[in-house]
Every structure is written in C-alpha cells, then in structure tokens.
Structure 1
Amino acid sequence: MKNRKPAFALFLMAFALSVPLFSQQISRDLFTAMGAYRLPDSSFAMIGMIEDLPVIIFQDGSIRGLRKSGKTYEIGNALGLFDQIEGTVEFGRKKSGLVIVRDGNTQTGARIPLSQKDLDFRNGEIQLHGTLILPEGNGPFACVVMTHGSGPEKREASLGLAGLFAGNGIAAFIYDKRLVREMGDKWQDDSFQHYAEDAVAAARILAREPAVDPSRIGIFGHSQGGWVAPLAASQSDLFKFVIISAGNAVSPVEQHLWSGTRANRQDGVREDIIREIYDFRKIKYKAGITGDSSEYKAALPVAMQKPWFRRTGGNLPTGAFWKLNGYYDPEPALLALKCPVLVMGGESDNHSNTAENMQKFKEIFQRSGNNRLTFKVFPSADHGYFETATGKFMETELRELKRFVPDYFDTLVEWTRVVTSN
C-alpha cells in the first residue's frame, strides 16, 4: 500500500472512562481542531481527548496535556500536569494546520483529511446508528467493525481507533451501543449475544457499501468487547479476522473476582484474608445472578463482623449485566473461530489477568485447530495500554502518565494490514 504512515501517529484517544477525572471546559475552537496532522519531518501529531482532557500525542507515543493560553495552547509535561510548560501549539484558520513550538524547534503541520458516512441499520426491532470512517483514496478498503467496552458507550468512544485505522488505509465502522441515545439515563445493559448480533448486522450493511471490500471485514473488541467480538465472528463468516484487546478467556464473574484479589494483594492484605474475601464474593455473585441466596444469607452475618467486609463490593450484583452475562462462557465462541486472530494484553493490567488469560486462549485455540494466531503481551501496559508503574491509571495515575506503551498501535495496524492483504 502506498504512502504508509507510522501507525502510532494516527491515534486519537479511544478509551473513554466512565467517571470524569478532569473538569476543564473544552472550547469549540479546540474541538474542531481534533485530528491528525502531518509534520515536515514526515512524523505526525494528533490532537485528541483522554477523558475530558485535551492532549497532543506525538509519533513516539508520548502524550502531553494542552491548556489554553491566549491564542495558543500550552503543552504540559504530562497528560494532566502543567507545572513545567514544554511548548505551545497554535492552530491555523479553519483548523487546516498547526504550528508546534517545542524543545526550541518550530514545526508546522497540515491536517490529514479523512471522510465519513453515517449509516443506520437494524437488528430485528432495534434501530442502530453508526459512522463509517474512510481513508484517503479510492476503495474498496478493508474495514474493522469496532465493538464496545462496558457501559453506555457511544460511537465517539471508538473514534480514536477508527482514526488510527483510517489514517493507515483501513476503513473503520463505529456505532452506538444499542439504545444508548434513545434511553439516555434509563439505559440498561443487554446480553453479549445481542451485542454480537448487532455487530453482525453492522457487517451485513458494510458488505453492501461500495467503499468496503466485503472479503476483508474484521472485528475489534477491547475489554468487554473481547467477549463480544469472538462471539459475533463465531456466528457469521462475514468477519474474516478478529482482534481481542485486553480481553478475557474466562467469565465476567471470574474476571471481577481476580481483579478484586489483585487490588487486595496490592494493598498488602494477608493471603488468608484475601481467600476469605474471594470466597464470600463468589457467594455474592451466585446469589445476585441466580437468585439462590440461601448460602449468601448464611454467610452474610459472619462476613459483616469481619474487618475486611468493606472490601467485598457493596450490594448484590443483580443488575442486567450480571444477570445476562455474569457466567458467560467464552470458550465455545473461541473454539468456533477459524479466521486469523490477534490477542493482545498488558502485563500490568489490573482488570484482567493477562498471563492466565493468554495461557487459556492458547489452550483453547490449540484444541480448535486454528493456527492463524498472534499473541502479544506489552510490558508495563495497563488496561488502556498506557505505560504505567502500578496499573492504576483510572484510580491514581492518569494525570502523571506520559505515553502509551511502544509498539501497541503499530502491532495493531501492521497485523491488520498483513491479514487483509492476503
């Protein structure tokens, strides 16, 4: 493919967190400037968002916060720190270019144009809404369907990865999680099965798009999407490849039990106490999900007298997500996959047990006979692929983060290029 660009530079932040960590008001001026810019040395800079904080992302993966100062924006010394100003960014008229002054050097950049097309589609009685992000040039292009993480996720949460793919010659389709816009605050989670059916419906409409090559449609799933993407691909041969990012080869209950155990261990809780907490939480999940609370009622009075009770997670998990998906078994869907699969994880992920998940993924695929597999674990990477010391990027570290881990986005794009070129 001609004019290939380094993948890292064309990333606009995709991981939207559920709780705002920054209160800075984003100006319309900066909002309209978001996108990718090509610099004279053939490197790139991205203007984007991490949570509600504006950032500039450089080709080497470094991230710096942006703060308005007159007609320019100051470049901070980390994602959310401005105690040292490293430079400035100023945007041209109509946001067609920018000027970066940093480390004593001045660089001008021209915006990289990407096109988009809104597409509405249906899964049975459910109306769904999406946007196809297209690269420069003429198609038909390979295309990645972007599934969702947890919560009421809108298509904007995947805009960054869509920009990454489209900037590297691969179309991407982003869409709202079912009923998110229609239900607003009354939205409730649905089953992985319904989410998978929605993704298949998206692939069907994309296969009819002139700009999309129907023989090169794949699916990407990060976190919760790591359960949904393989399930969708197991039910439709429209998907020719699958990308699992920070996903799990175990049930949501098992994943959450492990995450809680890891947090307790990091806090220095004794191993015998950790085991007691684990056993009680397991009983809680069973009661909340199945409705059989006899064991829970017997264990609760004893647990409430323990100093560790506050670590057991509050109310019973009786919400729609847990009822529908808590004991979901990903193995049958993984066994059914015969297409190329990329499985990625972060070594410092506090939300998923990367080491054990990778081993389980490998065991399942070995039994399936699928040998078109790639596994990649990124050292020092947390659940969002930030380079981290503790993995607690959502709890304590986000402001101090300075970069994404090397090679994550390059691996993502280059692998997709290879499997879609054959």
Structure 2
Amino acid sequence: MTTAGVTSAGVAMAGVPRVDSALGGVVMVGGSGPSDRHNDTYFPPIRRHLVDAGLAVLSYDKRGVGGSSGEWRDATLDDLAADAVAALGFLRAQPGVRPEAVGLFGHSEGGWVVLRAATTARDSPAWVITNSCPGVTPAAQERHALSRALRERQPARPDVDVDGSLALFDRLVEAGRRDADFTEATRLVESTGRAVSLGDYWAGVDERLWEFLKRKQDHDPVPDTLRLRCPHLAIFGGADPLVPVAESIRRFGTAACRPGRHPRATLTTEVFPGADHRLHTAHGTRPAPGHLTCLTRWIRGRAAGLPLP
C-alpha cells in the first residue's frame, strides 16, 4: 500500500501505512514542530505494537516535512486537522480495514489536531486518543512548561529572574493577541536584561514560526471535546514537565459532564506515574509499564466486534 492518494487541500501527504488483514485502524498524528511519520523515534515501537495487535496503522509526515508538500508553519490547526481527516479517509478505504473501526491517535500538539479532526470529519472516527495532550491552550501550556523549567534550574542558575521571565512571556502572548510582528516581538525580548530567560520557548523562533505561534496560542481544546461523537481516551505521564496534567484532566472531565454531550462521547483518563511527556520512565529510557497494553486493550474494546486480547 502507498500513500500516493492522500491529499489535503492540495497538499500531498507522505507516510508509513501498515495493513495486514486488519479489522480496525489507527491514524497517528505527531507533535509540534517539524514532526515526521516517526515523530522522531517515538512512533515506531507504538506502530509495531498496534500492528501486532491486529490494527492497521497510518502515520505521516507533517506538511513540509519529509515527503509531504506544503509548509506547516504557514498552516493553522484547522489545516493540520484537515490533513488528519484526509489520512482517516484514506485508511478507511483500504481493503481489509473496517471503516467504522478506524480512529485517531494524536501525541502532544497532535492531540489538539485529532480532537479538531474528530469534530470536523463528515463521519466521526470510531474513537480518539490524546497522548500527552494539554487540556489547556498552547499559551497556558507553554507558560506552565517555562515556569517549571525555570524553577527546576534555579538552584544552578540563581541569577535568573523567574517572575520577570514569566512576565516577559505574558507580554509576548499579549503582543501576539494584538498581532505584533516579529520585529516588535524580538525587540521586546531583547529589551530585557540577562536575568530574564525564556528558555527553550524562544530558541529558534523566526518570523514564520512567530506567525504560526500567534495563530495557535489561544486555541482551546475544550470546545472540540464538547462536540465529540465518539469515545475519548486521554493519556498522561504523571511526571510530564511540559503539560499541566491535573488541570488538563479537570478541564476534560468538566467537559465530559456537560449536559447535551453525545451519548457515545465517553471519557477515559489514564495517568502513568513517573512517566514523562513521551510516556517513558527511568529518565526517558523505558516505556511506562502498561502504556502500550492500555492503548490496544482500549482500542480493541471499543472497535465493535474486536475481542479483547
């Protein structure tokens, strides 16, 4: 099988499809930045596990990465969601795959993408899995990550002004909301003293990336969860330094209790103690015990007619 037929608004998507007389299927969507079909090295072992469990899997290069055309920095989250919908339709159309048993898996930023894709697809996916996906806006998530990183490094860097750094971040967010250009944003960052640090947040930001960050910074995933018409599994690492896990669970859970929610839109949350953003433990060297088994059991339990292993 090739992915030559996967197109989204004129963008040709390239990826890794795996079909072996599968009854159900999974479309995997990578995280932020120039994520390819492998999401660095994170997706291959998950793909193998899903295929071994009898599921077809399709993961693809983000637009402008690897073999895919287009440019992700010129896109919106709606554009990225449209790409996921196109991949969903392609996998559903493959021989041997039951179209009603195909769902979406999104890691980190990819979780926001698949939640939006699940609500915009003409035919709802069978389910949606968000893996280390914040239940807050990108701006709130980045602020949380910055605050945690600065406070953890403070013993070694007592010269860094944590409060001043967070205040600078807040000013950048406000600049984005009034559509400040990259020159103004750069001037704002450079006007601060050496005691102020944005850590990894500002590293590598150029004009194109600044425009992308502005477009997505206030995206709220909760309205998409309210519109879901399928089950949702939200997975988190208990020691994730990038995601406000407790607040994300609270927001997803509050949405799940709202009146009028679709009867199929159940919510399951799983938190793996000690696991990081990629659901690894032991300082990132080992997958969290039970993570992959959790994925396949939950998927197979919700794909009609697929028995539990």
Shorter chain as denominator, the TM-score bin is 0.7 to 0.9
- Larger Rg computed on CA atoms: 1
Name 2:273's counterpart in structure 1.
379
Distance change >3 Å, CA 247–CA 204, structure 1 → 2: same
Change (3 A) 1:351 1:132: same
Q: Does 1:190 align with 2:75?
A: yes
One-letter code aligned to 1:159: P
**Which residue identity does 1:411 align to in structure 2?**
C
> Equivalences for 1:210-225 in 2 at 5 Å?
210-225=95-110
CA-to-aligned-CA distance 1:12-65 (integer Å, 9 cap, x gap): xxxxxxxxxxxxxxxxxxxxxxxxxxxxxxxxxxxxxxxxxxxxxxxxxxxxxx
Seen in structure 2, the aligned counterparts of structure 1 residues 291 and 414 have a Cα distance that, compared at 3 Å, is same
Relative to the length of structure 2, the TM-score reads 0.83
Structure 1's 238 and 296: CA in aligned 2 closer, same or farther, altered over 3 A?
closer
2:296 pairs with 1:413: yes
Assess, with a 3 A threshold, how the Cα gap between structure 1 residues 163 and 356 changes in structure 2: closer, same or farther.
same
* 1:358 corresponds to: 249
Structure 1: gaps of 5 or more residues? 1-116, 389-396
Instruction: Find the counterpart in structure 1 of residue 171 from structure 2.
Output: 283
- 8 Å Cα contact 1:193/1:231 also seen in 2: yes
Q: Which residue in the other structure is 1:164 paired with?
A: 49
- Structure 1 pair 153–359 and aligned structure 2 pair: CA distance change class (3 A): same
Structure 1 stretch displaced more, 315-324 or 249-258: 315-324
Shift of 1:313: 5.1
Please give the per-residue CA displacement for 1:371-394, whole angstroms capped at 9, x wherever unaligned: 622111110000111114xxxxxx
1:329 equivalent in alignment to 2:213: no
Deviation at 1:159, TM superposition (A): 3.1
SS at match of 1:421: coil
By how many angstroms is 1:296 displaced? Answer: 7.3
Aligned amino acid, residue 256 of structure 1? E
Q: 1:118 is matched by which residue type in structure 2?
A: T
Cα distance, 1:299–1:142 mapped onto 2, change above 3 Å: closer
What is the TM-score when the length of structure 1 is the normalising length? Answer: 0.62
Stretch moving more, 161-170 or 313-322:
313-322
Q: Deviations over 1:277-300 (max 9, x none)?
A: 22221101332464348x979976
* Offset, 1:143: 0.4
- Which residue of 1 is the match for residue 28 of structure 2? 146
User: What is the SS of the residue equivalent to 1:119?
Assistant: coil
The answer as to whether partners of 2:26 and 2:57 remain within 8 angstroms in 1 is: yes
Question: Identity over the aligned pairs, expressed in percent?
Answer: 28
What amino acid does structure 2 have at the position aligned with 1:377?
V
Question: Matches of 1:364 and 1:379 in 2, distance apart?
Answer: 24
Structure 2: runs of 5 or more not aligned: none
- Relative to structure 1, the CA distance from residue 309 to residue 213 in structure 2 (aligned partners, 3 Å threshold; closer, same or farther) is closer
Instruction: Tell me the amino acid that sits aligned with residue 380 of structure 1.
Output: G
1:250 aligns with 136
Structure 2 residue 261 is matched with structure 1 residue 369: yes
> Is 2:114 the counterpart of 1:229?
yes
* Matched residue type, 1:230: L
Map of 1:71-90 to 2, 5 A cutoff? none
Aligned partners of 1:148, 1:313: CA distance in 2, in Å?
Answer: 19
Displacement of 1:187 after TM fit? 6.6
Alignment-mate amino acid for residue 230 of structure 2: C
The one-character-per-residue Cα deviations of 1:208-238 (angstroms, maximum 9, x if unpaired) are: 2222101111000011111101100011124
SS of the residue aligned with 1:180? Answer: coil
Q: 1:183 to 1:173 in 2, by over 3 A?
A: closer
Deviation at 1:407, TM superposition (A): 0.9
SS in structure 1 at match of 2:268: strand
Separation of aligned partners in 2, 1:358 and 1:182: 36
Equivalent residue, structure 2, for 1:118: 2
| Structure-2 change in CA distance of 1:279 and 1:170 (3 Å) | same
Output one character per residue of 1:50-96: Cα deviation in whole Å (capped at 9) or x when no partner. Answer: xxxxxxxxxxxxxxxxxxxxxxxxxxxxxxxxxxxxxxxxxxxxxxx
The Cα of 1:419 is off from its aligned counterpart by 0.5
| Residue 179 of structure 1, CA deviation | 2.7
Q: 1:279/1:118 Cα in 2 relative to 1: closer, same or farther (>3 Å)?
A: same
Q: Which amino acid aligns with 2:304?
A: S
User: 2-side partners of 1:309 and 1:156: how far apart?
Assistant: 31
Match of 1:340 among 228, 231, 234: 231
2:150 aligns with 264
Q: Is the 8 A contact 2:14 2:66 kept in 1?
A: no
